[in-house]
A and B are shown apart, each in its own frame.
Chain A
Amino acid sequence: MTDLKRNLIGLSLIVFSIGSIYLLNDEGPTRIFINLMAFAGIYAISAIGLNIHFGWTGLINFGHAAFMGVGAYTTILLIPHAAGREGSINEEGLPLFLAILIGLVASAIFGLIIGLPAIRLRGDYLAIVTIASSEIFRLVVRDQENLTGGVYGVISFSDVFQDIRPKFLEDLSLRLDVSVGQLWVATFSWTMVILLVFLLKRLQNSPWGRALRAVREDEDAVRALGKNAVWLKLQSFMLGASIAGLSGILLAFNYGTLQVEMFVPLLTFYIWAIMILGGVGSITGPIFGSILFWAFISETDQLASLIFENADGQQIAGVRFMLVGVLIIALMILRPSGIMGKKEELLLDVK
């Protein structure tokens, strides 16, 4: 299948799923759409980061949520915020762009810290170590109430992100009858997605990108040819972690609050599902995967109502997550290369 054909299929799937949102929802479909696009954009960024780890370098990272969390907490704690049970207010803060930059660097450093010991481990052990590290992060954040607000989290933070919102969005939001805040998050996120895609396209066929892929293929050969496989893996880990950090920051801006329970292993597995759905190793894969994924689960609420007479919040959530599980299994069995993945470059070792 050619690239063009794959892109067309992906595009039609997106059009179909967005169309179905408008079909199935009489009330406020655009609001649902913008909500979906905000989350899809954020998760796409995260999946792009994970793709660098797994798709390009072959690293099984089950701790991705922590990278998102480190970015989010670093940035949010650096702008004016109110944390903890008392909601104790921190008036001081850095300018937004500086806070974001430091957040990105913090994620990269966290990636380095985890990576240094872990990167030498074999696949399944790397998986266990990364998920354990992610949980340690979560437990420590939960524990350090003075700093992070513990289980109560950062209840609110200053509007600096919305302050830089371009004026034209306000008119647009009125016209479309959607929340302007979320419209801005969606716009910003997708702008970032496009920038990242350009960045990655440049890197993919570059010597550096090629080196990463060689590491994925055969580390021994890489070493035998004089290249430092460990350092290459670390660089990949740091870059992907940093990108994940960006998505975590945007996630916090989207919710308007920061809770440690946002960064649980289930989040990591969501990103994995999106990456697989979109096509492991494909640069644009996360875009298709994310939009389809979010369209899919936003429509499962309808499904839950069909199954259960008086579907309560829990049962709806339950059905939604069950379907995610089914999706992952089905993908792995039926179409492990996802939408955009090339069968020849299939990384998920399925024959």
Chain B
Amino acid sequence: MLDQLGNGLLLGIIISVASVALSLLYGVTRIVNFAHGEIIALGAIMASFFSNLPTSRYIFLENTSPLGLSFELSLALSIIICGIFGALLELCVFRPLRRNDFGNIAVLVITIGISIFLRHLYLIFASSKPQDYPLDLQRRQQYFIFDLTPRDFKIIVYGILIMLIFGLFISFTSIGKQMRAVRDSTELANISGINSDRIILYTWILSSMLAGTAGIFQGMINDVRWNMGFLILLLVFAGTVLGGIGTSFGAMVGGFIIGIVVQVSVALPFMEGHAEAKNAIALAIMIFILLIRPQGIFGIKERIS
């Protein structure tokens, strides 16, 4: 059980960061972004492309080798690329859609199209073979009561740090406050002089960067696959729903709980021999929450039916 708890912490951090990203985006833009998983994957795949050695066996596209840059540099570049990608999505796709009054359902379907397109673009780009970062193998040590590698521990620490910084950002900076204003009411925000277009752009950038970071974490802990985003997408939805719509803190907590529940559930007696179905538990929780307490743990009651 303790073993799984450590794994749960790690998965929890990943889903937590990704949930915060999704929750922020939904809060400000009201878009349920089914392509969110692909942005997560983008971070991971780019990091692999940048950091793996040219001599490694990974081939990108038809015959391009990875670049062999330092891991730190690769991380930074990948996250920046994710940010740029998010900006491009907003500028080239979602802003025009907004201008043309596209409704929520239409936008939803479009994000699905984008998700399908990107995911298979990654398939062509990175092939179907799982990839790992060029990091040395580490042994697990004792951290408090958990068995983690030093890298795992660092990820948890960095993850928590990122969320703390995000929390401070969203609460105290001017842009953060404007984001919250737009999230609470776009009309009011516009009236009070906030440039909602610009805030939405910043939101896309921030959300994508966070998503990319979550993807890199996932790549470090597990591996990098073309469809890794899609696999984790529903868990991220679960985390966001559980924590509560419209609250970043809720998404943090919700994501964490889902991650822990998924991993720890494997240790439960009735899950004996059914480890693969662990995701189903998280999904069932999400459905349950939507039915019983749709605003999640921390959310405000929104019209959900």
Contacts and interface: CB of A to CB of B under 8 A. Distances in A.
Direct contact of A and B (CB under 8 A): yes
Given A127-B32, A140-B280, A314-B127, A349 B304 contact: no
B102 A308 contact: no
Interface footprint category on A:
35 or more
Interface footprint category on B:
35 or more
B110 A328 contact: yes
Contacts of B276: 139, 142-143
> B115, B124, B241, B305: which has the most chain A beta carbons within 10 Å?
B124
A73 B304 CA distance: 33
B106 A128 contact: no
A348 B62 CA distance: 39
Nearest to A307: B124
Nearest to A310: B62
A333 interface: yes
Given A125-B290, A135-B283, A143-B276, A326 B241 contact: no
Contact of A136 (B62, B103, B283): B283
Interface stretch (A95-103, A205-213, A316-324): A316-324
B284 interface: yes
A318 B113 contact: no
Interface string B174-195: 0000000000000000000000
Interface string A157-189: 000000000000000000000000000000000
B287 interface: yes
Interface in B272-288: 274, 276-277, 279-280, 283-284, 286-287
Interface in B239-272: 241
B113 A132 contact: no
Contact of A315 (B110, B124, B274): B124
B280 A117 contact: no
Given A135-B280, A136-B280, A351 B109 contact: no
> A122, A272, A320: which has the most chain B beta carbons within 10 Å?
A122
B97 to A, nearest CB: 8
Given A269-B112, A325-B114, A350-B100, 8 more contacts: A124-B104, A132-B283, A132-B286, A142-B277, A317-B120, A318-B121, A325-B118, A336-B106
6 contacts: A132-B237, A272-B109, A310-B62, A322-B116, A350-B101, A350-B102
